[in-house]
Amino acid sequence: MIKNLVLRVALPATLALLLGGCGTLNAIGNLEDGAGAEASKMWDRWVDSNGDIAVATTWERKVKKGVTVDQIEQALASVSSEMNMRGVGELPLSKELEARTGKPQKLLKIYNYCNPATAREMVDFSPHMAAYLPCRIALVEKEDGLWLYTLNMDMMIRMGRKLPPSLKANALKVREAIWLMMERGSTGDF
């Protein structure tokens, strides 16, 4: 408990004081409102996962028992169409591994989606954002069933520099689309 308190309060405060002269305070002034709260959520997930950065930066949904891969894919396609997202590719990784090894594999498939206009606007704002494109949803078979994973879009929108209003509105639409894909994909709701 005390260790957690030190990690959550004393360490960040000490770092802020030490780095204050290095532009940290200037950077903090450029952040979106609520960036600290979002960073705190990520920090908690990082600590709870024993330092797994992938856990801290992603969303996950367990697929409801009985929902088929076909139903998941129909739900993803349905939301994509409704929300003006374009399916831009699929990577059937488990099938590729089966072909290479000749052995059955647990399901692993990646679905890629994009809103090209928003992608261009985001990359114009920050070229490094291109590394996060396109939006991906992974379907993963684990011992306890199927799971969906995607990048935490709140982190992308709420933790960085303030986005121009039109870009923020468009990014929030993409966020909503990905959120709905995860929700409806996990229940097979199409």
Question: What is the per-residue pLDDT across 111-141, written as a single tens digit (0 to 9) for each?
Answer: 999 999 999 999 999 999 999 999 999 999 9
> Residue 125 corresponds to which tokens in the numbers above?
């704002």
CA geometry: angle at 19 spanning 16 and 23, to 5°?
Answer: 110
Give start and end residues of each alpha helix (H) in 20-115: 24-29, 35-48, 53-56, 69-82, 93-101
Confidence tier at 56 by pLDDT (50, 70, 90): very high
Nearest to 182 by CA among 119, 140, 144, 142: 140
Q: What is the pLDDT of residue 4?
A: 62
pLDDT in tens, 85-103: 999 999 999 999 999 999 9
* Model pLDDT, residue 69: 98
58-187: CATH topology: TATA-Binding Protein (3.30.310)
Q: Which two tokens stand for residue 124?
A: 């114009």
- pLDDT for the residue 18: 57
In eight-state DSSP terms, residue 172 is H
**In the predicted model, what is the mean pLDDT of residues 74-86?**
96
Q: In the predicted model, is pLDDT for residue 9 greater than 70?
A: no
The answer, yes or no, to whether residue 60 has pLDDT greater than 90, is yes
Give the pLDDT of residue 58.
96
Mean pLDDT of 40-65: 95
Query: Is it the case that residue 168 has pLDDT exceeding 80?
Result: yes
Name, in order, each residue with C-beta under 8 angstroms of 125's C-beta and a sequence gap of 6 or more.
Answer: 163, 164, 167
Average pLDDT, the chain: 90
Task: Give the pLDDT confidence score for residue 29 in this predicted structure.
Answer: 77
